Structure formats: structure tokens, C-alpha cells
Structure 1
Amino acid sequence: MRLPPPGSASMVQVPWARRRPAAQHAGTEILYMLEGVMVYGHGKSSYTLHPGDALQFDGEAPHGPERLVELPIRFLTVTAFGDSPHH
């Protein structure tokens, strides 16, 4: 999964059928589920997300889809960066 540019939003449609390597990046990310069901991991925690669910998290911890439960999966993601020298 390619990350959007800093401070931007994008819609992601999950094209893969198996787990991908976890992402890590600076900033805060908000994910909003549009379609499908997936288990999303963040650090050592896992969350089952359904349409209408939202998740906000620190992008520096490993994160990403762990299990694709109901396809197709589409979600919005917004990544925001503060006044940090990381970006």
C-alpha cells in the first residue's frame, strides 16, 4: 500500500487477498471504513472494522490490514503531520 503525501487524504481499495507488510511513518492517521470488513492491526492491538467505523492512531507504530474478512474493502485515510522535523 502506498502512503498518501503528507497532510493529504486518499481512498484506498484493498487489491490484495493476503496480509501485506506493516507500514510505519511519522504523523497521525485516521482511517474511515467505507465498504467491507477487515481486522486492522496497530502495534500489538487489533481492531475489527466495519463500514462506518473510524480509527485514529499514531503512524509511527507498525500498522496495516491483518485479515480481510469481507471483500471488497474500501476505506478513506487521512495522514496529518504536526510541526515535527520528521517530515
Structure 2
Amino acid sequence: MAKKQANSKFMKPMKISEELAAVLGDKGPLPRTEVTKKLWAYIKKHKRQDPDNRRNIIPDEKLAKVFGGKRAINMFDMTKKVNNHLS
């Protein structure tokens, strides 16, 4: 029996922009799942979550380059912004 291919897009290694590589500490290529894991590790290590609303991320200088600004960003909008840095 053949393996499921449903998650193949998530597992496909992607090229990473310089801005995102600076945050992740890895120039890739990496699958989306690994990008997400490393991004959350960075956010938690540098305490970038809003303490009042943990769904919001408060970007530092590196994250602002990925997210396109200094304003807080919702974790769901974050995925859209990160996708712009993957090819």
C-alpha cells in the first residue's frame, strides 16, 4: 500500500529568504513544519509573545523584517507573512 501524500507540500524543503534565515539561524532549505518550529522557538526564547494576549506576537528588529513592520501581529496572520519568505 502506498503512503499518503497529503502532507507532501508541508514536508518539501523550501528556500528561505535572508531575513527569515536571520531569525531561524538556518539558511535552509527547510520544510514548512521545521520553519514553524524554529520560528516559535525564537519567539519563545526572546519572549516576543504579548503577555496580555498570547495570540499576538510583538516583533523585535529581526522579526519586523519578516512580518513587514513593527506592529504586533496575530499568530494566524504571521503564517501569511512567513509564506512570503519561502520559495
**What TM-score, normalized by structure 1, do the two folds share?**
0.32
**Higher RCO structure (Cα 8 Å, ≥6 apart):** 1
Greater Cα radius of gyration, structure 1 or 2 = 2
